[in-house]
């Protein structure tokens, strides 16, 4: 889908009066940029066993983010279709409700997966500050900021989808989980920037 098209096409569709792509896809794109930066820094760094492992992880991180740029679009389209299902009979109402719930759970999973990728990504940024090319240390700082932004963006999508599901107990447990991860990401980003600032 979009990962095979031009950036101009993506941005044109994003800015148009269309339901997709939207914020979820953008969060994945932002994360992909963070992953690409970590990979670039790793490629320009002196190779050793630790850096070889980090490079492999950064490549996978980038590929996974790219996958979710389109995956979010596909899943959100299912949500839109579910809401358009007929409601003329009791059976149709039940069928529509079930379809909406299933679609929301699927798109929620996408946002959760993006959150998880952001956490993995920012840990790579933290490692690169220590072992990466010091001439590209600001790129490492930028990658950490991008991962945090992508995480927070996806967390908003997690929250809105949980609200639509109308299951307070389920929502509370999910939000508590990701709030904890958010605090960890913020702490990692602060540490990365602190170490970068020392080198500038």
**The predicted structure's pLDDT at residue 166:** 86
Q: Is the residue at 102 inside a domain? A: no
147's CB contacts (< 8 A; 6+ apart) are: 31, 34, 118, 119, 121, 122, 125, 185, 189
Q: What does the pLDDT look like over 63-99, one tens digit per residue? A: 999 999 999 999 999 999 999 999 999 999 999 999 9
Indicate if the pLDDT at residue 47 is higher than 90.
Answer: no
Q: Supply the CATH number for residue 155's domain.
A: 1.20.120.680
194's CB contacts (< 8 A; 6+ apart) are: none
**The predicted structure's pLDDT at residue 1:** 87
For residue 26, give its domain range. 21-76+110-199
What is the pLDDT of the chain when averaged over all its residues?
95
Task: pLDDT band for 145, please (50, 70, 90 cuts).
Answer: very high
Q: Is the residue at 11 inside a domain? A: no
Indicate if the pLDDT at residue 191 is higher than 90.
Answer: yes
Q: Is the residue at 195 inside a domain? A: yes
Residue ranges in the chain assigned as alpha helix (H): 7-15, 23-43, 49-83, 90-131, 137-165, 168-199
Q: What does the pLDDT look like over 147-180, one tens digit per residue? A: 999 999 999 999 999 998 888 999 999 999 999 9
d(CA 185, CA 116): 11
**The predicted structure's pLDDT at residue 146:** 98
Domain count, the chain: 1
């Amino acid at each position: 889908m979009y990962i095979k098209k031009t950036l101009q096409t993506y941005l044109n569709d994003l800015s148009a009066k269309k339901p997709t792509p939207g914020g979820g896809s953008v969060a994945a794109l932002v994360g992909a940029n963070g992953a690409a930066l970590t990979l670039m820094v790793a490629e320009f760094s002196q190779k050793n066993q630790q850096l070889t492992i980090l490079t492999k992880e950064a490549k996978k991180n980038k590929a996974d983010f790219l996958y979710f740029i389109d995956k979010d679009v596909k899943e959100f389209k299912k949500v839109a279709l579910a809401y358009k299902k007929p409601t003329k009979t009791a059976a149709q109402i039940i069928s529509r409700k079930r379809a909406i719930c299933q679609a929301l759970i699927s798109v929620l999973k996408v946002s959760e997966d993006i959150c998880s990728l952001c956490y993995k990504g920012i840990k790579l940024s933290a490692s690169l500050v220590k072992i990466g090319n010091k001439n590209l240390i600001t790129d490492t700082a930028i990658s950490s900021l991008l991962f945090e932004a992508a995480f927070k963006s996806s967390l908003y999508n997690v929250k809105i989808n949980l609200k639509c599901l109308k299951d307070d107990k389920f929502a509370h447990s999910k939000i508590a989980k990701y709030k904890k991860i958010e605090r960890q990401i913020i702490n990692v980003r602060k540490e990365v920037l602190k170490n970068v600032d020392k080198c500038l």
